Structure 1
Amino acid sequence: MHPITDPPLDSLKPVAPDLWIVDSGPLRVFGLLPLPVRMCVVRLSDGTVWLHSPTRYDADLHRAILRIGPIRHLVAPNVAHWSFLAAWQRHCPEAVSWAAPNLRRRGPVRRAGLRLDHDLGEAAPAAWAGDIAQAVVPGGLGFREVVFFHRPSRSLILTDLVVNLEPHRLPLPMRLAARLAGITAPDGRAPAYLRLVVRLRRAEAARAAAALLALEPERVLFAHGAWFARDGAAALRRSWRWLGL
């Protein structure tokens, strides 16, 4: 097991009523750098289950989720987090797949033949609007990240707009690189390249971010690193200072 990951891996971990996380990985960025990755699991008020940024498929994990409820929604929240979707589709044929704007246009997605049933927008679809609000944070070069707010637990669910890697878990060379990129705990931000991309549409992104902060989330979850388990709104304001908020 890689020290950068947060065991137990590929297992449900309760966060709040009807909200769980699954830690997995590591992913290899550019085939080299190890990176932890996380999925969020929500049981909707109709008893069905919503998977955000699905991590690698695991049969035991699947069975554990089915004890919560039937999996009906698979969410690819930005143009980078889709590579495990197909495996979950094969094992959950009744589930609907939801894609971030522009995801279906990406060459790797088209070449993979990935099935994407619906594109996500600013408004939550009827299937989960009663439980989860959503917004789109835009960037240049086709980047979009759809952000979700789980109303019952007051939890904000991001993907890559915050990366907060714990330095003591990183190999020494990666520790230095992560610090230079501004993605180390306790003050992790979006990676440097992503900050540049989002700044290409900074005014729109800042408006979207301000509206999300106005929700005053109690906790903030994201795909990579130590999530904000308390004082979520304050921690996120620090993390998003680069947006000029």
Structure 2
Amino acid sequence: MTNLIRTNFQAHPFHLVSPSPWPILTSASLLTITMSGVLTMHVFTFAQEFLCQAFFLVISSMSFWFRDVTGEATYLGNHTSAVQRGLNMGIGLFIVSEALFFLAIFWAYFHSGLAPAVEAGTQWPPSGIDSVNPFELPLLNTVILLSSGFVVTYAHHSLIKGYRRGALHALVFTVILALIFTALQALEYTVSSFTFSDSTYGSCFYFGTGFHGLHVMIGTAFIAVGLWRYLAYHFTEHHHLGLESSILYWHFVDIVWLILFISMYYWGS
């Protein structure tokens, strides 16, 4: 009886994660995406087919992984207050690493823009490049993304106060605004007069805005999962770490876009 009690109960509030196949499968799928993506750029045979399969594997493995984490948090009660503090710290450090990633992009952009090379015509944007007008689609996208930030904050406060209908409507509206932003960003790329290979300006512009667009899509999925979990009554006023993390990530996306708009669209034009 004593051994049984020691087996079923632990003397600490931390969650000892069970062995899982999803992290290694996700890592292998991401490596496959990288390799097949490079092969696709060099027009290798069947490279596109491998790339599509790799995307499917990433989505599948991460979906199963998130399913397990959701079960641990919602049904098994493994996410104690101590575990939540650790997860909050992990999300914070992840966002810091993302901020340093974008810092490298801005560093490269300003390094080239503040002292343009002779090959760029000693001017920024380089001669021959017609930059995007910041007061057209970029300004509209700025309004849309900032509005989504305000709306998702309203959803968070509504959840804390127990106003379920307001939180649900705000989360749905946030996802819709995020999808509109992504569609307008894709439209902007189709009408731009320069490409990724047009000097350092084109490389930095598309690298920065493209990766921000990728983060918007990830954040949209993040909030959409939170919306689905809220519909399934997984969250309470005091325990909604998954949704809170997605909202924090979305605010980071907003801040990065503001810097992108000011530096690459306005100053860079």
Q: Relative CO higher for 1 or 2, CA cutoff 8 Å, sep ≥ 6?
A: 2
In terms of fraction of residues, the more strand-rich structure is: 1
TM-score by shorter chain over 0.5 = no
In terms of fraction of residues, the more helix-rich structure is: 2
TM-score (norm 2): 0.24
Greater gyration radius? 2
TM-score (norm 1): 0.26
